[in-house]
Amino acid sequence: MNDPLSPDTALALLGANNAGLARASETLKNSADTRRLQQLEKASEDFEAVFLAEMMKPMFETVGVDPFFGGGKGEEIFRSFLVQEYGKILAGTGTVGISQEVKETLINLQEHASGTSLALHNTTLTSEEGS
């Protein structure tokens, strides 16, 4: 009872298979775009954190070392870590806005270099989506 498929049935099956492949391909492209956008958001937020830390560094250079906590080189070194963390916290709030501009510039540069556009260009990923 192995009836051969009629040409119409074979074409219908082939068309359905191609549609499934096209949907799978589109899903993979969208997930790759999402992953690229997540990487761009992280890079732009990291840039903003470093920038803000560098801007705050002169503020802390004028503050003397507290002898109550021991002072010395150790406190100077850990002060730089503290300034870096302040930069990360400020960048994470999104109130300064440098990271958004950097992200848009990176997207435009990548689109120009590749000749394609990211499907999710105008979306902003939240921390829940990035996890």
Q: pLDDT tens, 36-62?
A: 888 888 999 999 999 999 999 998 888
Domain of residue 37, residue span: 7-130
Tokens of 53: 């830390």
Assess if residue 69 is contained within a domain: yes
**Count of structural domains within the chain:** 1
CB 107 within 8 A of CB 118: yes
4 Cβ contact partners less than 8 Å away, ≥ 6 residues apart: none
| pLDDT in the model for residue 108 | 87
- Cα torsion for 84, 85, 87, 93, to the nearest 10°? 160
| pLDDT in the model for residue 86 | 92
Give the global pTM: 0.60
